[in-house]
Amino acid sequence: MLAAVLVATGLAALTQLGAAPPDPAPRAAPPAPAGAAAPEPVPPTIEGRRIIVGGAPGPIRQRVTAHIGAAITAVDGFWGTDWPTEIVIETVDSDREFTARTGLSEPMAAAAVAGWVDPARGIAAGQAIVIAPGAAGIGDDALQTVLTHELFHYATRAHTALDAPRWLQEGVADYVARPAPRHPAVPDRLPDDADFTGTGAALSAGYDRAWLLARFIAERYGPDRLRALYAAGAGPGHPDPDTALRRTLGVDPAELFAQWRATA
């Protein structure tokens, strides 16, 4: 899983223009002309949101559709329902295509992308969740986590500054997406954006550190305060992280770390 990146995407929609008057008696529909294309299926509506899944065919599309409802519920439960009512999901059939679509080369299951973002006006255009070929090989629980994490980025993209702290974006997304850990690690320090410059195990540790801090904040101060921290610390015109912590939680970084360590 990785934070959203900005790339272009497009979307087309079909509009029904009208209908013929009813016949006095039912009759069979005329056969379709030879070579005519089959009508496009109507996108499903799940949890009040229109789901458009396109791209490479395969079982992953059905799996994504089956799991997206729970992802929507999780995001709604934390962030609220004021985010796009249309969710675009694209599947690709090669790592090269995934990299071209997202700009990312690290192995991963999915990434949220957008064509144009103006957080000051609350606008994000051309959004999509791009599903990598590797997603086909992960289990249902892992796929649920991936979808929920990326959907949080999708939902919050219009209200997230382009220079928002990476640890805050990823930590809160993982809080929404991941189940509680059985044996949380003892924290050695607070997360920072340098944690997300590595690869492999180092990058995974960075995600875990940010996630566990977000979970601690939600457990000690409440999910609403964690949401307020995201809005204050990652929104347009956000202050530095230390100031955001003081304004929303009433503590400085040293105090927060001491509280976190005391619970381990």
The 10s digit of each residue's pLDDT in 162-195 is: 999 999 999 999 999 999 998 888 899 999 999 9
pLDDT at residue 184, rounded to an integer:
85
**Domains of the chain (ranges plus CATH)?**
1-6+46-159 (3.40.390), 161-264 (no CATH)
Taking a C-beta distance cutoff of 8 angstroms, is the pair 58, 91 a contact? yes
The secondary structure of residue 20, as a DSSP letter, is: P
pLDDT at residue 18, rounded to an integer:
30
The 10s digit of each residue's pLDDT in 107-160 is: 899 999 999 999 999 999 999 999 999 999 999 999 999 999 999 999 999 999
The 10s digit of each residue's pLDDT in 62-82 is: 999 999 999 999 999 999 999
Task: Give the mean model confidence (pLDDT) for residues 198-227.
Answer: 96
Task: Give the mean model confidence (pLDDT) for residues 197-218.
Answer: 95
Taking a C-beta distance cutoff of 8 angstroms, is the pair 6, 159 a contact? no
Average pLDDT, the chain: 87
pLDDT at residue 26, rounded to an integer:
39
pLDDT at 6 over 70: no
Taking a C-beta distance cutoff of 8 angstroms, is the pair 61, 53 a contact? yes
Choose the weakest-confidence range: 38-52, 62-76, 87-101, 105-119. 38-52
Give me the numbers of helices (H) and strands (E) for the chain, helices first please: 8, 8
- Which pair of tokens denotes residue 108? 């991963």
pLDDT at residue 34, rounded to an integer:
52
pLDDT at 22 over 50: no
pLDDT at 8 over 60: no
> Rounded to an integer, what distance in angstroms lies between the CA atom of residue 41 and that of residue 38?
9
- Put the strands of the sheet holding 86-91 in their side by side order: 5-6, 110-114, 128-131, 86-91, 49-55, 45-46
pLDDT at 261 over 90: yes
- Which residue carries 């994490």 as its tokens? 149
